[in-house]
Amino acid sequence: MAKNLAKDAGRDAIRELGWWRAHRFLILRRLCQLTIIGLFIAGPTVGILKGNLSSSNLFDVIPFSDPLIILQSLAAGHMPELTALIGFAVVVVFYALISPRAFCAWVCPLNIVTDLAAWLRRKLNLKTSYRWSPKIRYWLIPVLLVGSAVSGTVLWAWIDPVATLHRGLVFGMGAGWILIGLVFALDLLLVEHGWCGHLCPLGATYGVIGRKSLLRVTAVRREDCTKCMDCYYVCPEPEVIRQPLKEGDRRVMSQDCISCGRCIDVCAEKVFEFGNRITVKQLD
């Protein structure tokens, strides 16, 4: 089978599997992201989820804390309250068990913006101008920690577009749209998957946390792969699915995978599935 065009990614899956099957994980992710935003907006009245992505509380019982914010606070010499530390532990344990960077695909509101930029880039056949190393985001973690230690402040809180978008959606955006617009322009015009795939230190933090997590995308039927390239076109981290489509381990073991399931959605041959890294059978 010949390689498809990027703008047609998923068309074969719609024809062979139906519209729902070709979009199910995308739709479920959007519902999850929008539901979380809605719960935050309704927090003062409904009381299910209060706070923001940096620090929140579920049912006034279970705290959640942004792990990168907590690490910067500790580096800056500020001891967080016990509730915040418990929230840190809850988040780390949860995402360490579930799947790599599940926060990025299923919770982060900025993912909606970067996915839109990627979709427009494919449909308009836009070619990005620059290539950056995906390791930049991992280097930014120690840079932020050292910077926080030197300055005595939580540096990332000043420039975090994820928190900016979330606060804007819940409390009103104001000038924050400028920062979000810059992220959108970066991904659309300058660097393919520039923010999530190259710069975001929060996503890198969740990648480190989830590197040994249980749920993994697996190329269970890779012999049926026709090399149509649809999975590469839609994947925010396309390098992570190269190895599972070759010989050896069929599981996507890279911590860079965001567990979005789009490669599963768009594959008409049903090459990919979600599987448990412990019990999934190696078919070779």
Q: Which domains does the chain have, with CATH numbers?
A: 6-17+215-276 (3.30.70), 26-208 (no CATH)
Residues 6 or more apart whose CB falls under 8 angstroms from that of 235 comprise: 241, 260, 262, 263
Q: Residue 112: how many CB atoms within 10 A of its CB?
A: 15
What is the model's pLDDT at position 135? 95
- Output the six-digit token pair for 168: 């804007």
Per residue of the chain (284 residues), give pLDDT as tens.
568 899 999 999 999 999 999 999 999 999 999 999 999 999 888 889 999 899 999 999 999 999 999 999 999 999 999 999 999 999 999 999 999 999 999 999 999 999 999 999 999 999 888 889 999 999 999 999 999 999 999 988 878 999 899 888 888 878 889 999 999 999 999 999 999 999 999 999 999 999 999 999 999 999 999 999 999 999 999 999 998 998 788 999 999 999 999 999 999 999 999 998 876 655 45
Predicted structure pTM score: 0.93
pLDDT 10s digits, 48-77:
999 989 999 999 999 999 999 999 999 999
